[in-house]
Amino acid sequence: MLRWDVNRREFLKIAVGAGAALTMPSAGRSAGSSKMIGIQVGAISFVDEGTEKVLDVLQERACVNTLFLAVFTYGRGIAGRQIPGQPLPDHGKQQYDLDFHGGNFATPHPQYYKNTVLKDARAPDHGDLDILAEVLPAAKKRGMKVICWMEDVFRTDLPNIEKLQERDLYGRNAETLCFNNPDYRNFLTGLVEDYARSYDIDGIMWGSERQGALSDSLGATHDEPPIDPGSVTCFCEFCQRKAKERGINVERARQGFLELEKYVRAARSGKRPVDGYYVQFWRLLLRYPELVAWEMLWTDSLRETYAAIYKTVKSAKETVPVGWHIWHNNSFSPIYRAEQDLKELSNYSDFIKVVMYNNCGGERMALYVDNIGSTLYADLSKQSLLDFDYAVMGFQEGSYEQIPHTGLSADYVYRETKRALEVVAGTRTLIWPGIDIDIPTEPNNSKCTPQSVKQAVLAAFRAGAPGVLLSRKYSEMRLADLTGAGDAIRELKLSV
Residue placing its CB nearer to Zn ion in the complex, 178 or 468: 178
Query: CA torsion sign, 327 to 333 to 337 to 338?
Result: negative
Print the binding letters for residues 122-161 with Zn ion: x by CB under 5 A, - otherwise: ----------------------------------------
Gap between the Cα atoms of 194 and 464, Å rounded: 34
Is residue 297 part of the contact set for Zn ion (CB under 5 A)? Answer: no
Q: How far is the CB of 214 from Zn ion (least distance, A)?
A: 15
Residue placing its CB nearer to Zn ion in the complex, 63 or 236: 236
Query: How many binding residues for Zn ion (CB under 5 A)?
Result: 6
Segment lying near Zn ion (by CB under 5 A), choices 56-64, 126-134, 229-237, 265-273: 229-237
**Residue in 60, 58, 81, 80 with CA at minimum distance from that of residue 145:** 58
Residue placing its CB nearer to Zn ion in the complex, 32 or 171: 171
Of the candidate residues 54, 70, 177, 236, the single one contacting Zn ion (CB under 5 A): 236
Segment lying near Zn ion (by CB under 5 A), choices 127-135, 234-242, 348-356, 415-423: 234-242
Is residue 239 part of the contact set for Zn ion (CB under 5 A)? Answer: yes
Residue placing its CB nearer to Zn ion in the complex, 90 or 237: 237
Residue placing its CB nearer to Zn ion in the complex, 236 or 342: 236
Is residue 234 part of the contact set for Zn ion (CB under 5 A)? Answer: yes
Q: How far is the CB of 166 from Zn ion (least distance, A)?
A: 5
Residue placing its CB nearer to Zn ion in the complex, 153 or 482: 153
Q: How far is the CB of 163 from Zn ion (least distance, A)?
A: 12
Is residue 164 part of the contact set for Zn ion (CB under 5 A)? Answer: no
Of the candidate residues 69, 136, 153, 178, the single one contacting Zn ion (CB under 5 A): 178
Residue placing its CB nearer to Zn ion in the complex, 199 or 238: 238
- Interface residues with Zn ion (CB under 5 A)? 178, 180, 234, 236, 238-239
